[in-house]
Amino acid sequence: MELLDPSTREYGWVATVIETVSARTGISSGWNGEVWLAAEELEQRNSSGRVMSDGALQVHPGLTLDPLRKAYDNDRLSPGELQATIDAAGVVTHESMHLLTRSGPGVYFAPDHAIEEYLADLGTTQEIRHVVGELGLTEQHPGLRELSIQVAYPATELALDPVTRYLADNDERKLPEIHDRLRTATLTQRCRTLAELAVERKLGAHPHAPDVLVPRLEALQRPAIAGLVELDTTPGLDPETVRTKATEAGTAAIGAIEGLVDEAEGRKEPPFVGIQYDESGLGWDPDQQRWVSAAGGGELDTGHLRKFLGGLRRPRRGPETDQGTSGETRPAHQRRGSRGQSIE
């Protein structure tokens, strides 16, 4: 692994993308100014880039910097080279989206990770045109304007896009508010924020919203969306299986909201007050404000999940410290890479 010299033009390209994303979103970046060339390390993870826990960025030079260099140095590119160019910019843009996220106290769980990747993909799709424009590539290669990028985590989009649209009452004008609220929440509070949004928008100022309804909905939604990232990162899964399971996850998450509304409005049994155990074996203890293991009490062992923005370990520079996302060399149905803060 090699540290990229800040005086190089390649470093300047990466910095331009990170700065553009931060300026466009209005959120300060957590980038520490380091860019590491990590082809071997990322290939082992089937990735093209990731963000480390100390805010450093790792990129696969062959999948990011090399296509950009070719685009700058040649006035004519083949269709494949044009696609590689916008994909390379997309990798760094996705990672830049992760750099906007703050971890918050505690640990993040698989459902929080799923929401994070959904937001990173969403932001990448929204900003890629501006990023390529800031890099000065659209004037040199107008064909880039006609291209689109494949999202890195399609299962999270298939499941969570309908959920956010449901919360926005299918009103495009309300969607940015939903996305911004999720994006500005800390990583460890992403799933809870989704539950808060649902309760606020579907039940208003309900007297039991914060102490009963939000924790209960969070417990119901977590198992529904917990497996989304795994769908996108498990090799060999049939694309139709991925689509079906992701769609079912989104339907289940919306169903949890509708069921809770029925309970709160008296059309079903009222919500149970206390520890709510869900199908994933996690229980939310509203008194202690933490998730516990349904199997035997005590806090859940989450060491294997603390990969992002300061987990259990003191951040170390290098591949052992996870915060990243990744990129890829992928089958069509898989992520273009897990390309974000160790968050793969």
Q: For residue 209, is pLDDT > 80? A: no
Nearby residues of 158 by Cβ (< 8 Å), 6 or more positions away: 243, 246, 247, 250
- The answer to whether the beta carbons of residues 227 and 110 sit under 8 Å apart is yes
Q: What are the boundaries of each domain within the chain? A: 2-305
pLDDT > 70? residue 271 = no
pLDDT band at 267 (very low <50, low <70, confident <90, very high): low
Q: What is the DSSP letter of 321?
A: S
pLDDT of residue 342: 59
Predicted local confidence at residue 31, as pLDDT: 96
User: Which element (helix H / strand E) includes 202?
Assistant: helix 190-203
Give every strand in the sheet of 57-59, ordered side by side. 2-3, 35-37, 57-59, 49-51
Q: What is the DSSP string of 110-155?
A: HHHHHHHHHHHHHHHHHHHHHHHHHTTHHHH-GGGGG-----S-HH
Lowest mean pLDDT among 91-100, 131-140, 242-251, 266-275: 266-275
Is residue 143 within 8 Å of 82, Cβ to Cβ? yes
pTM above 0.75, yes or no: yes
